[in-house]
Amino acid sequence: MTIPMIMLLLTFVFVIVRILPGDPALLHFERNVSPETLAEFREALGLDVPLLNQYFNYLGGIPFGDFGLSMQDFTPVSEHIQIRFPATLELTIYSMLYAVLLGLALGVKSAKNYDSVQDHGIRMFSIVTYAIPVFFLGMILQSIFSIYLGWLPTGTRFDPHYSTPATITGMYTIDSILTGNLTALIVSARYLILPTITLGTILCGIFIRLTRTNMLETLRQDFVVAAEARGLSANKIEYTYALRNAFLPILTMIGLQFAALLAGAVLTETTFSWPGLGTYLVQRIAHRDYTALQGVVVFFGILVAMVTLILDILYAYLDPRIRL
């Protein structure tokens, strides 16, 4: 179903962008323009041919990474994505790692102390964090740790007074480790802390509740009772046996949330002026750059589809019942 889903997405985005009110060529200039200039602009962007031809031309370029030309500077949208995507990916990886570790730890603790004060407190924390708007939490953390205490930077990705690490992956922390640049690693990590905590805290509530629910079910299974009868320690039973068996539904949620994070970190990136694809998308909308908007949305859609496909394969590998 991955290929039909991607084709449906490409078609949907292509049609939606073109039925939006206004002529994208005229909106680009926002003032009176000569017919000659307008014709040249349309020709450069491939808008001078029938819609059906535009559609097949666009489909033909997608497998080769061609998402069209930006209406602002006529540079390939794929180049913009290549520059911006590592920042979004880096933020997504650390936010997901933070959310999963915190969610698993609190979820297991809540299940172990079922119906206690700790259990109720952790459940309340998961509800509150999930309900808080991400931009509101980001501004609160900026006010406390950046403006009031002055411990961490308010935004952007790197201090301009330092040299960025040599580009290998585009993710500053990874590149700093690969090049042995300790200073760049510390600087980039400081800029990552607040957006990571903001995005990870919003997500951890999902993993807390999912872990708690599945752990409560697993702890009542016969193999857990048998392990207790053998005299195994509580930690070994909970973390080695119970959590492993309760992890499959959590793995599904990890994959889905990771895919959603890649496409949904727009508010976090905007709040912290993080130079990723989220802020790029907002800028392109403000400039009415429809070709760039279309390219980024399609890129995100393909990425989510591929992550979902990998997750399905991994899930089948980990759960023998699916293979049967």
Q: How far apart are CA 304 and CA 310, in angstroms?
A: 10
In sequence order, which residues have a C-beta less than 8 Å from that of residue 143 and are 6 or more positions away? none
Listed in order, the ranges of the chain carrying CATH 1.10.3720.10 are 77-323
Q: Are 89 and 262 in contact (CB under 8 A)?
A: yes
Query: What is the pLDDT at residue 322?
Result: 59
Q: How far apart are CA 126 and CA 180, in angstroms?
A: 38
Query: What is the pLDDT at residue 22?
Result: 66
pLDDT beneath 70, residues of the chain: 22-25, 27-31, 239, 259-260, 263-264, 318-324
- Answer CATH for 77-323 from 1.10.3720.10, 2.60.120.680, 3.20.20.450, 3.40.1160.10: 1.10.3720.10
Which residues share a beta bridge with 76?
69
Q: Are 276 and 87 in contact (CB under 8 A)?
A: yes
Q: How many CB atoms lie within 10 A of CB 72?
A: 15
Q: How far apart are CA 43 and CA 51, in angstroms?
A: 13
pLDDT digits (tens, 9 = 90+) for 8-19: 888 888 888 777
Model's pTM, two decimal places?
0.83
pLDDT digits (tens, 9 = 90+) for 43-81: 777 777 788 888 888 888 888 888 888 877 788 888 899
